[in-house]
Amino acid sequence: MDCSPRGDRPGFVRVHNDQTLLLPDRRGNNRIDSLRNIVCDPRVALLFLIPGLGNTLRVNGRAQVSIDPHLLNSFAVEEKAPRSVIVISIEAVYFQCARAIVRSNLWNPAHHVDPESLPTAGQILAALSGDRVGGGEYDRVWESRAKQTLW
């Protein structure tokens, strides 16, 4: 099983018709776990979390990966098209129990963690790799790298 967070500007999951959703596969960690899993087993589930909303919507279905140029270009942002689009045939749609989100105060800023109280991504990478990967350099260049490779 692969559980990968996806996010983009509002409306990034496109309703193609009553039975089909379209989801651009934006740049990520280049591991292609989700795409490989879809090729091996097309069953997918999407859980929609919308900031400020206490409910979640779950969509179960079967997916396939498309590299149709017209479809890719229709999802371009800043003239950059995704490498592929995930086409999801809907089998079930329902509200997922949102009690955990409500109990966690996920959307309540008064309960947000102070980022300064946690190690940075670079510090975590350095610790896990025995200082071979990450550290200060990773943290220093992250913001500019993210801006350059966002789309």
Same domain, 10 and 31: yes
Same domain, 145 and 121: yes
Compute mean pLDDT per 10 residues along the chain, 151 residues long, and list them.
Answer: 82 95 86 88 92 88 97 94 96 90 89 94 94 90 87 78
Whether 50 contacts 84, CB under 8 Å: no
Same domain, 137 and 75: no
Q: pTM to 2 decimals? A: 0.84
